[in-house]
Every structure is written in C-alpha cells, then in structure tokens.
C-alpha cells in the first residue's frame, strides 16, 4: 500500500484565468477604436463636403462681386471720359475768353470772323437738312430759317461796328442801339431820364442825381450813390461811359448819358449778366 507521501502531483496545463477577460477588454477597445475611426472618417468626409460647398458658394459670390466691380469700373470709365470731354470744352472756352481779354482792340474783327464762321456752319447745317427733307414744304421752311439767320447775322455785324469803350463794351448812342445790344444778350440795360436837378433818382441798384448840365458842350455833372457811397462825376460828355465795379466782379457796370439838355439828361445803366448788379465801389472822377 502506498504511503500518502508517495501520492502523485497533478499539474494542469493552459492559460491563467485572468487572460480571457483581458482579451475581451482588448477586443472591445479595438472595436471602439474601429468605430471611432469610422465616425471620424465619416465626419471628416462630411466636413470636406461642407467646406467644398462653402468654398463653391464663396467663389460664386466672389465671381459675382468681381462682375459688379467690373461693371462699376466700366461706368466709372464712361463717366470719367465724359468729365474729361466737359473739362476739355471748358478749358477751350476759358482759353478763348482769355484771348478775347488780351485782344480787346481786335474784338470787332474777331466777332465778325466768328459770325462768318457761324454763318458758314449754319449754311452747312441747312444744306444737310435740305438733303434730308423730302417735301417742298419742308424745304421752304428751312429756307425761311436761313433768311432769318442771315438777317440776324447781318444785323449783328452792323451792331459790331458801334464804338467800343476802353473796357471793350459796345456803346449805345440811342434807344435803337440799346435795343440792338439787348438782342446780343451779353448785358442788361436800364434806360432812364432825369428831368430835374438835385433830385436823386433810383436806377437799377444805384441812385443817379443830376447836378448841372451844359447843352452847348454836351456835358453834365452827376452824382452816383452806390451802396450809400456818393461819388461826383464832373464834366461828363455824352456817350462817355462811367465805370464802377461790383464787389469781387471782373466786369464793370457802366452808366452812359446819351442826351444833355437844359436840366435834363437821358441815358442808360449797363450791367453784365455774369454778376449780380449790386455795385460796391465807384470809379474815379
């Protein structure tokens, strides 16, 4: 009989008991990782699609804005061209005005040349109109316009033969001359008659007072009141302009006496249309 000390020892082969739970945990972690990776991939794809959509939207808006800017630039270019053309016209007119101021003595000839150019231009325009007209009635109408224009131009040429003052203004000697100057449209004219001495009379924005007359010499003494400033004008001859300037004006206002009788004078006030007829200072005696 065998002794207890001789009992065989049984050895069990295999993994420890804790290995299986560890493997399960690792498997779960791996599955969670796979799930997280899939979710991240799906989210990244959605994000890329959203970004691409936003980029496309921004590109379309950008293209639209670029087109609007191009249109605005085109309009600005047209406006700039128009402004440059207007500036060119104004510059040419200013240069012409400066040339006239420098050549006062040649104004009559220049005016006649200008009228001739206008007549030539009108003739050319009329010829074009006649070429376009089909009926005899239209031809008669245009021909009548030509006659009127020629008549006005001939009258203007005659008007330009009037004497000019030292300031270059045409001097009217009677009512008909004044009417002619009115038609030219360059200045405003106010005719007046003062039939009594020492009685101030309002003429336009100034006051004229007759002090004395000398019919034999066609002379008179006047007093002008301009903005409450009184100035004596002695021994003034008929058709001799008396000049004074409005504040800041470059063109003179003038008084001209056309007739001198005993205690009576007839004349006119001439005011340039480019300024307000408010005189502030008088010229010399």
Q: Please report the pLDDT score of residue 98 as a whole number.
A: 67
Where in the chain are the domains?
Answer: 25-75, 102-159, 175-282
pLDDT given at position 5: 54
For the beta sheet containing 252-261, the strands, ordered from the edge strand earlier in sequence to the opposite edge, are: 187-194, 264-272, 252-261, 242-246, 279-282
Rounded-to-integer distance, Cα 231 and Cα 150, Å: 45
Q: Pick from 230, 285, 253: which is nearest to 165 by CA?
A: 253
Q: What is the pLDDT of residue 54?
A: 82
Nearest partner of 219 among 211, 229, 208, 230, judged by Cα = 211
Do residues 224 and 231 make contact, with C-beta atoms less than 8 angstroms apart? yes
Q: What kind of fold does domain 175-282 have according to CATH? A: Tick-borne Encephalitis virus Glycoprotein; domain 1 (2.60.98)
Kindly state the tokens that stand for 47.
């994000």
Give residue 45's pLDDT.
83
Pairing type for strands 279-282 and 187-194 reads: unpaired
Q: Would you state the pLDDT for residue 228? A: 81
User: Which residues in the chain come in under a pLDDT of 70?
Assistant: 1-15, 90, 94, 96-112, 115, 126, 129-161, 246-249, 274-285
* pTM (global) more than 0.75: no
pLDDT at 218: 94
How confident is the model at residue 35, as a pLDDT?
Answer: 79
């Amino acid at each position: 009989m065998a002794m207890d000390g001789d009992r065989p020892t049984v050895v069990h082969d295999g993994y420890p008991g804790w290995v299986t739970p560890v493997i399960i945990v690792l498997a779960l972690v791996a599955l969670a990782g796979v799930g997280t990776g899939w979710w991240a991939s799906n989210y990244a794809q959605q994000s890329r699609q959203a970004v691409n959509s936003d980029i496309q939207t921004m590109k379309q808006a950008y293209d639209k804005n670029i087109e609007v800017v191009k249109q605005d630039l085109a309009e600005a270019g047209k406006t700039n061209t128009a402004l440059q053309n207007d500036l060119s016209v104004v510059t040419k007119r200013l240069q012409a005005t400066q040339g006239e101021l420098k050549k006062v003595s040649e104004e009559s000839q220049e005016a006649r040349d200008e009228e001739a150019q206008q007549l030539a231009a009108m003739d050319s325009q009329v010829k074009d109109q006649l070429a376009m007209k089909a009926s005899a009635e239209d031809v008669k109408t245009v021909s009548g316009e030509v006659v009127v224009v020629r008549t006005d131009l001939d009258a203007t040429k005659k008007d330009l033969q009037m004497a000019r003052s030292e300031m270059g203004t045409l001097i009217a000697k009677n009512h008909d001359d004044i009417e002619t100057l009115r038609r030219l449209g360059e200045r405003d004219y106010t005719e007046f008659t003062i039939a009594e001495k020492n009685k101030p009379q309002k003429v336009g924005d100034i006051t004229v007072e007759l002090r004395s007359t000398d019919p034999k010499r066609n002379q008179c003494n006047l007093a002008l009141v301009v903005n409450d400033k009184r100035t004596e004008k002695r021994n003034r001859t008929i058709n001799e302009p008396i000049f004074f300037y409005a504040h800041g004006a470059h063109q003179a206002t003038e008084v001209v006496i056309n007739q001198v009788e005993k205690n009576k004078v007839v004349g006119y006030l001439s005011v340039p249309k480019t300024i307000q007829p408010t005189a502030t200072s008088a010229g010399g005696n």
